[in-house]
Structure 1
Amino acid sequence: MAVHNGTPAMPDSRIRNEALRARLTTAEQAAELIRPDSTVAMSGFTGSGYPKVVPMALARRIEQVAAAGERFRIRVLTGASTAPELDGALAKVDGIELRLPYQSDPEARQRINDGTLNYIDTHLSHVAPHAWFGFYGDIDTAIIEVSAIREDGALVPSTSIGNNKTWLDLARQVIIEVNQWQPAGLEGMHDVYYGTALPPDRVPIPLLAPGDRIGETILRCDPAKIVAVVETNGPDRNSPFKALDQASIDIARHLVDFLKHEVARGRMPKNLLPLQSGVGNIPNAVLAGLAEGGFRDLTAFTEVIQDGMLDLLEAGVLATASATAFSLSPEANERFKQKIDFFRERIVLRPQEISNHPELVRRLGCICMNGMVEADLYGNVNSTHIMGSRVQNGIGGSGDFARNGFLSVFVSPSTARNGSISSFVPMVSHVDHTEHDVGVLVSEQGLADLRGLAPKQRAQVIIDRCAHPDYRAMLKDYFDRASRDSYGKHTPHLLAESLAWHQRWLDTGSMRT
């Protein structure tokens, strides 16, 4: 076992470059290189490919500094959400001053909603260009997980790419975690495009189909910037797959029937258009429904590949899938590792500035399916905030796709919190997606096709087809009175009542009258 700087290399080390192997160190020593009040950009997207040990070592260091009466906080940038070892560990010790662009950790969420952690919720496609424009200031340190370092010093990405290319390009110093838990067979699955530029020098991105490869299989980094290399052997945060609930199955059935109707009307080809879907039970149910519905030769141009897409790839229903990360259950991850040669021929992982790029979403004509917190009578969607002010996770990439796809679909059960909250309300308490970007709403009750409808027509369809029966009469009563008494009749609202449902829930624990 080789030893460098007092740190032993793992057996069968994946650090194949001698110069970078000489920079092998411990997580604690690497964490010492990070200064207070600095901006630290880290890998990670939906619990995949995030650094496993340096953030935890940094959290321990921050805790020690705090015990001595000093303050140590950093600004944290990632691809999307990460895991307890990163967001959770740093938030718990009050080590994060600013967080962007997406999070899902309970510790971080609590501090954001307490007002002690600043959070910028932004479209995922905006992050890399905004970093290049300098909107976030200088990036002091990048901490990036990879699956290997090649002999030539090139970095082999792991189970997510996210914003790693941008972080490596812009950071003043770089810390690399080489994770041997990640399958070696990942090499060759990635497609890293280096052809983006700042205005006015931009040129069209040469991608015409989801499976096209337009870049390199590796990440580049100036070796002079790499100040530490840490070897790890730890799993991604993989949530167990949840059994499909009846509401998810019903939503999927409505949506699959609708897609069949669109094919029959000649609006889509038999193999549909490239699919984009968020993470969770409903997207998995939709994917299963597509297989059962007889669809074949499908493609996906999305952010995240989860269990359902692996199933479709293995079944031959899905021909190819493009994404920026995996989000697999432990069981699916083992299947992925065992059949990685098969999947490497059918999956392409890209930087999120490409996977979410509006130009490509529009060109490919994606069918975009995303979850929501609530929708209002006119089709405005809130996908981020509970009762208007308490953030849940973030907008993620939903806006990148909803504003640019061929078909924009938002899905949700018709009620939440054991029926005490209606997902369809007079006016949303926070707007992420305006009525202009929403084409279809689906609940377990039914599907509302809003395309080509004026506001008052949308309201009737949403009430009749998506709202839960317990709230349908209340919505109809509000809409009828607003249509009669509102200041204007184009988008009728009673401003004194439009958010009363939310206030009623805060006051009584139920939106019901």
Structure 2
Amino acid sequence: MSGRIRNRQFAAKVVAAEDAAELIKPGDNVGMSGFTGAGYPKAVPAALAKRVATSREIGRPMKVGLWTGASTAPELDGALAEVEGIELRLPYQSDPAVREKINSGRLDYTDIHLSHVAQRVWQGIYGELDVAVVEISGITPDGDLIPSSSVGNNKTWLEQADRVILEVNSWQSADLDGMHDIYYGTALPPHRRPIPLTHPSDRIGVPHLKCPADKVIAVVETESPDRNAPFTPPDETSRQIAAHVLDFLDLEVRSGRLPRELLPLQSGVGNVANTVLAGLQDGPFEGLTAYTEVIQDGMLQLIESGTLTMASATAFSLSPTAVERFNRDTAAYRDKIVLRPQEISNHPEVVRRLGCLAMNGIVEADIYGNINSTHVMGSRIQNGIGGSGDFARNAYVSIFVTPSLAKSGAVSTIVPMVSHVDHTEHDVDVIVTEQGLADLRGLSPKMRAELIIERCAHPDFRPALRDYFERAQQSSYGLHTPHLLDEALSWHQSFIQHGTMR
């Protein structure tokens, strides 16, 4: 037995990654661990991709269904997509090779609210889960599985899969043991019970995952790092957006709508979100908490400074520098971070009850406050809705942020009508660009349009948006939400035909 595998039954199942990959059959639905480039299996997917490529060369194409927590990494998603090895991908992706295959019609993709995945798998909506390939950081003497840097859907994969392959990754800090909270109290209706979680720091489950040894068909040992992409230093646009958000939060406190310690923070992944978190470091707020999906660099820094007292999430998404710092001092973070299954970290009822402050990025917004967070020009998927919908509809305040321009100024992110709707105007409280902030709460559609155009649109596109809105009020079919249907998507059509919305 190695230092990370302390149970003889599991130690007896150790094999090479290539041998484990051979146990996955053509057509299998495979649930793999991984969430935002953390805690995904490294060796078995690479071996499986090689096997798929070899099968193709001899005229025996092989594909599998690929289910995860969220995005993984090029050596998983990308490797399998490059060899045409994925039949159906769910629930979220961010890999360029996968994206190209989806948008060229060669790979089916179903984009799902992340809190819904476990329930739908239990319902059997996607068929049977044949194999789970789950990275863990160790196995206890009693046969419990110590999770690694993400939890995601791993509990569900281990419960639902017919066969299980484990990757035990000794790169992951041994001090992760005790950071996780795996709740086994969920059930399908009519047997559901309230989730007993009232504060981000609450621990309502157990620290380890469970899986019967006789279900495990292979154990693979690895020592490979997570994919850790460096964050781009904040530019002036990100700093301006962050300043508007921080001013808004300060105003909410002074108005008595938020306490001085705010409410639990949720932040999507990205440079703008990280810049806002960095701004909280210097702001007037103390004793903050987070109930979110992902812990990024900015949140780790807030923990280190004492500004953030507790963070609940399902995964990390850290830069190489932050990962090195975290792995060196993991034990020091263990009482300040809880990692949960994503069906709990993103649970709509818990988000509503805790009163989360949600902040997420977008592709575009229209003048009435509808949000497109997934598609470019209406038909090309970018990444996916992820958990933004779980939080946006249920947040105490739902904030969406974006630069006002894209494609070097050729595209306005504020448009007459979004080309794809992920979040309706009813789930959007605040829109922020570097130009300003529009608080849409309590406003009619026409009032929202005036505010978004004046506060959020770039000056280069503001006159055209005003012109559209004014003419729509004169000749629209109705005047509650005025639109010119023959022009509403003309800005997108102009970009497709001429490369610019101007």
TM-score normalized with structure 1 length: 0.97
Aligned partners of 1:102 and 1:494: how far apart in 2?
Answer: 34
Q: Partner residue of 1:476? A: 466
- Does residue 353 in structure 1 map to residue 343 in structure 2? yes
Correspondence list, 1:97-116, <5 A: 97-116=87-106
Query: Residue 194 in 1 paired to residue 184 in 2?
Result: yes
Partner of 2:173: 183
Instruction: Report what 2:230 is aligned to.
Output: 240
Match of 2:3 among 10, 13, 20: 13
- Quick one: which of 64, 83, 106 aligns to 1:74? 64
Aligned to 2:31: 41
CA distance in 2, matches of 1:63, 1:450: 52
Q: Distance in 2 between matches of 1:85 and 1:237?
A: 9
Aligned residue for 1:304?
A: 294
State the partner residue of 2:252.
262
The alpha-carbon deviation at position 13 of structure 1 amounts to 3.1
Who is 1:341 aligned against?
A: 331
Partner of 1:30: 20
Deviation per CA, 1:384-438, whole angstroms, max 9, x where unpaired?
Answer: 0000000000000000000101000000000000100000000000000000000
The SS at the match of 1:178 is: strand
Aligned ranges 1:317-332 → 2 under 5 Å: 317-332=307-322
* CA-CA distance at 1:44 after TM superposition: 0.1
Q: Give the whole-Å Cα distance in 2 for the aligned partners of 1:310 and 1:504.
A: 43
2:367 alignment partner AA: L
Give the counterpart letter for 2:396 in structure 1. Answer: F
Aligned residue for 1:6? none
Q: CA deviation at 1:195?
A: 0.4
Correspondence list, 1:86-165, <5 A: 86-165=76-155
- Matched with 1:394 is 384
* Identical amino acids, percent of aligned pairs: 64
Letter paired with 1:40: V
C-alpha separation in 2, matches of 1:137 and 1:463: 46
Query: Which amino acid letter does the alignment assign opposite residue 76 of structure 2?
Result: L
Structure-to-structure mapping, 1:406-445, within 5 angstroms: 406-445=396-435
DSSP 3-state at the match of 2:122: helix
Q: 1:288 Cα deviation (Å)?
A: 1.2
Structure 2: distance between partners of 1:419 and 1:143: 43
- The one-letter code of the counterpart of 1:298 is L
Correspondence for 2:489: 499
Structure 1 moving runs of 4+ over 3 Å: none
> For residue 235 of structure 1, what is the amino acid of its counterpart?
P
Q: Find the aligned partners of 1:405 and 1:324 in 2 and give their Cα distance.
A: 18
SS state at 2:466 partner: helix
- Please give the per-residue CA displacement for 1:46-76, whole angstroms capped at 9, x wherever unaligned: 0000000100100000111100011100000
CA distance in 2, matches of 1:210, 1:150: 27
Task: Supply the distance in 1 between the matched residues of 2:305 and 2:123 (Cα, whole angstroms).
Answer: 44
| Correspondence for 2:219 | 229
Structure 1 residue 286 corresponds to structure 2 residue 254: no
User: Can you list the C-alpha shifts for 1:99-121, whole angstroms capped at 9, x where unaligned?
Assistant: 00000000000000000000000
Residues 213-239 of structure 1 show CA distances to partners (whole Å, capped at 9, x for unaligned) of: 000000000111000000000000000
Does the residue aligned with 1:320 lie in a helix, a strand or coil?
Answer: strand
Deviation at 1:177, TM superposition (A): 0.1
Cα displacement (A) at 1:337:
1.4
Of the three residues 181, 199, 206, the one matched with 2:196 is 206
1:241, CA displacement in angstroms?
2.4
Deviation at 1:240, TM superposition (A): 1.2
What is the rounded CA distance, in whole Å, between the counterparts of 1:122 and 1:338 in structure 2? Answer: 35
Quote the Cα distance in structure 2 between the aligned partners of 1:245 and 1:155: 42
Paired residue secondary structure (1:23): coil
Distance across 2 between alignment mates of 1:484 and 1:496: 14
1:395 and 1:452 map into 2 onto residues whose CA distance is 26
Q: Using the alignment, how far apart are the partners of 1:241 and 1:181 within structure 2?
A: 22
Aligned partner of residue 205 in structure 1, secondary structure:
coil
- Further displaced range: 279-288 or 432-441: 279-288
- Whole-Å separation in 2 of the counterparts to 1:13 and 1:95: 34
Separation in 2, partners of 1:246, 1:219: 44
Structure 2 residue matching 1:321: 3-state secondary structure: strand
What's the counterpart of residue 274 of structure 1? 264
RMSD: 0.6
Other structure's SS at 1:470 match: coil
State the number of aligned residues: 502
Distance 2:449 2:43 in 1: 51
> CA deviation digits over 1:84-135, x for unaligned, max 9?
1100000000000000000000000000000000000010000000000110
Distance (whole Å) between structure 2 residues aligned to residue 464 and residue 105 of structure 1: 36
Alignment partners' CA distance in 1, 2:244 and 2:492: 28
The counterpart of 1:489, out of the listed 479, 482, 485, is 479
Instruction: State the AA in 2 paired with 1:309.
Output: M
Q: Which amino acid in the other structure matches residue 83 of structure 1?
A: A
The aligned residue for residue 158 of structure 2 is 168
Displacement of 1:339 after TM fit?
1.6
SS at match of 2:243: helix
SS at match of 1:378: coil
Counterpart of 2:350, as a letter, is L
Query: Match of 1:469, SS?
Result: coil
Q: Per-residue CA shift, 1:293-313, capped at 9, x if unaligned?
A: 121100000000010011000
Read off the aligned partner of 2:501 and give its amino acid letter. Answer: M
Q: Which runs of 5+ in 2 are unaligned?
A: none
In 2: Cα distance, 1:441 partner to 1:333 partner = 32
Residue 290 of structure 2 aligns with an amino acid whose one-letter code is A
Q: 1: distance between equivalents of 2:80 and 2:269?
A: 25
